[in-house]
Every structure is written in C-alpha cells, then in structure tokens.
Amino acid sequence: MSHPLSVLVVGSGAREHAIAWKLAQSPNVGTIFAAPGNPGMAALAQCVPVSVTDIEGIVDFAQGRECDLVVVGPEAPLALGIVDALTRTGLVAFGPTQAAARVESSKSWAKELMVRAGIPTAQCQIFSSPEEAAAAARGMGGEVVVKLDGLAGGKGVAVAETAQEAEMAVYELCRANPQSAGRILLEERLEGVEVSVLGISDGEHVCSLLPAKDHKRVGDGDTGPNTGGMGAVAPSPHLSPEGLDRVHREILEPAVAELARSGTPFVGVLYAGLMLTREGPKVLEFNCRFGDPETEAILPLLETDLADLLLAACHGELAGAACEFQASACVSVVMASPGYPGPYPTGIPIHLPSDLPPEVVIFHAGTSSREGVLVSAGGRVLAVTATGDIIETARRRAYAACSRVDFPDCHFRRDIGCIRCEAGEYTP
C-alpha cells in the first residue's frame, strides 16, 4: 500500500460499528470516517452528520476528502443507487449497483433469478393485485408465506397457518405497504433451521464468510414478535463445513454467475438467508449487504484484512481468495430499549464498563451522546459481543458483560448461544 487508506463507512448501526472496528485493525487503514456514525464509532472514526440516504452529500464528502474506499452498510442507499453515484465520480465503493441491489429490493426479481439459475428455493407464485393473490391464497388451503415485492423494513412478510390467515395477510400487508402492493408473492412454507451465509463477491468470484445464526424473535426460545435481530452466533453450529461448501457451490456461486450473465454483476455482500430443510439448504431471501446482527458475530473472528478484502472485491480481484477465520466462536447479544419492538422511550442514560476483557467488544446501534452522556436513541441499542474457544465460553463472556452494562429497563434475550437454543446437527 503506498499511503494509508482513508475509508468512509456509511451507516450508524452496530453492523457499521463492527465494520469500522475491523477496518481500524488493518495496518493499511489510516483514517476512518462514518456517515453519520454513532458515539461508539466516534472512538475510532470521524463521524460526519450526513444521512445515509443523502446520496449527493455522501458523494461530495467522499470526493472532498479523497476517500480511497466507501463501504455502504444499509440497504436503503444501495437501493437508491449510491454505488452508481460514487463510481460515476471515480470513487471506489464496496456494494452493489442499484440494478444488482434488486436481489433485495425486489423479491420477485430475486425469485426469477433463482429459478433461472436452478438455485434451491421455496416454490412461489407471483400476483399483481391483492384480489388475485387473496383468491389464490384461499385456494391453497393452508400454510403459505405471503411476501410483498419491495423493501418493507422486514415487515413485508407473513407466515400464515390457515387459508383465512393467508388471505387476511395479503390485505394487511398491502394496506401497510401500499407502494409494494402491485406485486405479491405466495410462497411454499419451508420447515427447518434458519442460517445466514454471507459471501463477498467481486462480480465474478465469491468468498463465503462463516455461517451465522440470527435470532429474530424478541423472546427466549424464539417467542414473541419479530425484531431487527436480538443476537447472533458465529459459526452457526447448524451448518457443518461441508454444508457451507454446499451452500457456496449450489447457491452463492450460481447466483453470482447468473447476476453477471444477466448484465447486473454483483459486487458487495450477497447475503443468503437460508432454511436448512430435509432436502438441503434453500434460499428464503437474498440481501445485498452485510447482515445485522450477523456481522457483529462474524467480523470479530475474521483474520483476513477487511480493507484488503473489500478493495479486492471492488477491483475484481477475488479469484482464488479465501477468507480466513479464527477457529473459535462469537456470540453477540442485543440490548434493546424497554418496549421494543413496540413503541419505546429514548434518552435513557447508559453507563458502559470501562474495563472490558480483551475478548469483549460492545458495538453501538441506537445510542447518542447528550451533553457528554451516552443515552439510548433507538430500539436496538447495543450489541454486546464476545469471542471464546467454543460458543459456551463466548456466551458466558457476552452475558457477563451485559450484566455490567447500566441501562435501566432495557431487555435482552438470555438464550443467545445457549446449548438448548443452538443445538442441532445438520448434515448436507
């Protein structure tokens, strides 16, 4: 490297904090900026008050500071074409173009791509009006998954048990997301354990990261409503190394090849949300970015230099590359505001322990700094993360750190990484 790299991380969640934290460990990285960042990121990055969807503002900033690399965290700016705008001005940006980001921003487009590439996924029918979809759902007579086409912040999917529930779900989802009501998917309901596999792609080649398990439900034992994710474990004990290899060969490689063949080569993180069914892994969804909270549990185990890896992807140089990981485990526990995922207060003062062991890191999500005091500012507030030689060691360390965080009335799951929750063998 000729000069220390200057990198801009776009986003303000625990995922972006984890990305900035990992980049800061690279000997090649000099300065890190975060737009807009958060108080946790401010310890390692210069935070600039530019919103993630202010594409012009981000391009202007990156140009003005001559950033060598822009890493985009969330899906919203990717779907708005932030990478197209950055690369038009000659900047190097890690993330897919607006066209390739459709793997996430259009579920019907992603489904058609999977069918063309022969990628295992749930059977699906696509409808262009709620009435047609509701009539079909009635005829399907039971278990069906209803999905709307566009981005809906995780609220565009309903898993129905009965025909009546499915029909109601069609109308409710369409009412809540009128902008996406023109394309409705009815999908076969798959059974199994869910795992996320993220691949870094340079448009042609793909490197798989460790499989990770998100915990979407708010309550212990996977109970209660869905959330943005209450914790993650990596590597997921449900997917063996042979299983990961199968996902790489049957899902990630064919998807990257089909994206390129269709004229929308994908550079960035191709995230496969999988159901490990009896017949093997099947895709529930693709996302076009790092997963949250999976990234908080994956990056602490990554041994490969993250800046080198992301730059290699941007320059189409991932041929023969592999991501190296420590042979240990990581558990990340999300501490949330009282009431989350329903309405919650903000502004609760938080005190973090100043003497954390080296295996523990607390990534900030919804925090802010008010007159020098750290306060809560969102639903998911902290991702308390620990590594260990096995999941159990990591789990104990993470929960010991949670018990030392002073965050009145917060709640968090007590079973992230516990044997009962994570046990289960998967053989491909």
What is the total count of residues that contact ligand GLY (CB under 6 A)? Answer: 6
Q: Which option in ligand GLY, ligand AMP, none does residue 292 bind, with CB closer than 5 to 8 A by kind?
A: ligand GLY
Nearest distance from residue 106's CB to ligand GLY, in Å? 15
Which stretch, 140-148, 288-296, 308-316, 379-387, contacts ligand GLY (CB under 6 A)?
288-296
Asked if 149 interacts with ligand GLY (CB under 6 A), we say no
Give the residue nearest to ligand GLY (CB). 291
Q: Which of residues 211, 229, 243, 379 is near ligand GLY by CB under 6 A?
A: 229
**Of ligand GLY, ligand AMP, none, which one does residue 294 interact with (CB within 5 to 8 Å by kind)?**
ligand GLY
CA 401 to chain centre: 23
CA–CA dist 310, 92 (Å, integer): 10
Give the contacts of 145 (CB within 8 A, at least 6 positions apart): 122, 157, 158, 159, 160, 186, 187, 188, 189
CB under 5 to 8 A by kind: which of ligand GLY, ligand AMP, none does 229 bind?
Answer: ligand GLY
Binding status of residue 294 toward ligand GLY by CB under 6 A:
yes
What is the nearest approach in angstroms of ligand GLY to the Cβ of residue 235? 16
Interface residue list for ligand AMP (CB under 6 A) = 122, 145, 147, 157, 159, 187-190, 194, 216, 273, 284-285
Q: With CB cut-offs between 5 and 8 Å by kind, which of ligand AMP, ligand GLY, none does residue 122 bind?
A: ligand AMP
- Residue closer to ligand AMP (CB basis): 26 or 287: 287
Which of ligand AMP, ligand GLY, none sits in contact with 235, Cβ below 5 to 8 A by type? none
3-state secondary structure the chain: CCCCEEEEEEECCHHHHHHHHHHHCCCCEEEEEEEECCCCHHHCCEECCCCCCCHHHHHHHHHHCCCCEEEECCHHHHHCCHHHHHHHCCCCEECCCCCCCHHHHCHHHHHHHHHHHCCCECCEEEECCHHHHHHHHHHHCCCEEEEECCCCCCCCEEEECCHHHHHHHHHHHHHHCHHHCCCEEEECCCCCEEEEEEEEEECCCEEECCCEEECCEEECCCEEEECCCCEEEECCCCCCHHHHHHHHHHHHHHHHHHHHHCCCCCEEEEEEEEEEECCEEEEEEEECCCCCCHHHHHHHHECCCHHHHHHHHHCCCCCCCCCCECCCEEEEEEEECCCCCCCCCCCCECECCCCCCCCEEEEECCEEEECCEEEECCCEEEEEEEEECCHHHHHHHHHHHHCCCECCCCECCCCCCCHHHHCCCCCC
**Chosen residue from 16, 202, 214, 250 binding ligand GLY by CB under 6 A:** 214
From the list 61-69, 145-153, 284-292, 304-312, the region that binds ligand GLY by CB under 6 A is 284-292
d(CA 17, CA 282): 30
| Cβ distance to ligand AMP smaller for residue 226 or 393 | 226
State the residue number with the nearest CB to ligand AMP. 285
**Amino acid letter, residue 404:** R
Q: Which is nearer to ligand AMP, 42 or 159 (CB)?
A: 159
| 109 vs 127 by CB, closer to ligand GLY | 109
Q: CB of residue 154 vs ligand GLY: minimum separation in angstroms?
A: 7
The CB-of-104 to ligand GLY minimum distance in angstroms stands at: 8
Establish if 258 lies at the interface with ligand GLY (CB under 6 A): no
Q: How far is the CB of 13 from ligand GLY (least distance, A)?
A: 10
**Residues within window 156-185 making contact with ligand GLY, judged by CB under 6 A:** none
CA distance 148 to 172: 11
Interface with ligand GLY, residue 287, by CB under 6 A? yes
Quick check: 16 binds ligand GLY (CB under 6 A)?
Answer: no
Minimum distance from residue 266 beta carbon to ligand AMP (Å): 18
Q: Which does 194 bind (CB under 5 to 8 A by kind): ligand AMP, ligand GLY, none?
A: ligand AMP
User: Which among ligand GLY, ligand AMP, none contacts residue 159 (Cβ within 5 to 8 A by kind)?
Assistant: ligand AMP
73 lies in the binding site for ligand GLY (CB under 6 A):
no
Provide the binding-site residues for ligand GLY, judged by CB under 6 A.
214, 229, 287, 291-292, 294
